[in-house]
Structure 1
């Protein structure tokens, strides 16, 4: 159990950065049917706009 906790803590920041990168990159492109998100979160939209400038 301690080993699992070490692995999770070691890679948690990398996983969060990957999730943010994927979220921003997909928010600026067209949605595919199986990734359809009817409403985009305002915070993600604002972050993507700020990143463009």
Structure 2
């Protein structure tokens, strides 16, 4: 299992883009790993947004 490849798969889905040669190619992936990577990516994204808002709205 290549975790880096699964991270790329989640990020492609997150941003809605993928290279042409990667479309339609599905390797054996563990759905639990994909869900875990997706949850971490969402938490990092939301944490970054909260940090930016906190820095901008600082009195």
Q: TM-score, normalised by structure 2?
A: 0.37
Larger RCO: Structure 1 or Structure 2 (Cα < 8 Å, ≥ 6 residues apart)? 2
User: TM-score, length-normalised on structure 1?
Assistant: 0.40
Larger fraction in helix: 1
